[in-house]
Amino acid sequence: MTYVASALIVIGAAFCALASLGILRFPDVYTRLHAASKAGPLGAGLILLAVALASGDLATAVRGVLGCAFLTLTVPLSGHLLARAALRAGTPLASITSINDQRGNG
């Protein structure tokens, strides 16, 4: 069980590192939100699941699983709301960002 929890922590930390790298390297707010709302919760969720596995305490395991469920339910919603607020505020896209708009084709 300890090896599984250790592997989950390492994989979760790698996803968190990728999310932070995406926030630093992506050119505009929309692509940064994409990195933060996809890889960040996955990494944090894996770490919470590892804590739930390694704790050996039922209360801690339940809190870890509930925290993972909370992240899964709230992060996509908050990312969408932040992107919508940025769009309504007129935040421009980066010049290298392209849009593949499919509206009106069907």
Domain-embedded: residue 98:
no
Share of residues in the chain with pLDDT > 90 (%) = 67
The mean pLDDT of 3-31, rounded to a whole number, is 94
The mean pLDDT of 75-85, rounded to a whole number, is 92
Question: How far apart (Å, rounded) are the C-alpha atoms in residues 34 and 69?
Answer: 19
Domain-embedded: residue 97:
no
Domain-embedded: residue 101:
no
Most confident range, picked from 1-5, 46-50, 90-94, 101-105: 46-50
Domain count, the chain: 1
Domain-embedded: residue 104:
no
Query: Rounded mean pLDDT of the chain?
Result: 89
- Dihedral of alpha carbons 12, 18, 22, 24, sign: positive
SS (H, E, C) 51-79: HHHHHCCHHHHHHHHHHHHHHHHHHHHHH
Domain-embedded: residue 105:
no
In this predicted model, what pLDDT tens digit does every residue of 88-105 receive, in sequence order? 998 888 888 777 776 655
Look at residue 22 in the predicted model and tell me its pLDDT.
Answer: 92
Domain-embedded: residue 39:
yes
Look at residue 15 in the predicted model and tell me its pLDDT.
Answer: 95
What is the four-CA torsion angle of 67, 81, 94, 35, rounded to 10 degrees?
A: 10
Look at residue 11 in the predicted model and tell me its pLDDT.
Answer: 97
Domain-embedded: residue 99:
no
pLDDT-derived band at 63 (thresholds 50, 70, 90) equals very high
- Dihedral of alpha carbons 6, 7, 11, 12, sign: negative
Domain-embedded: residue 66:
yes
- The parent domain of residue 6 ranges over 2-88
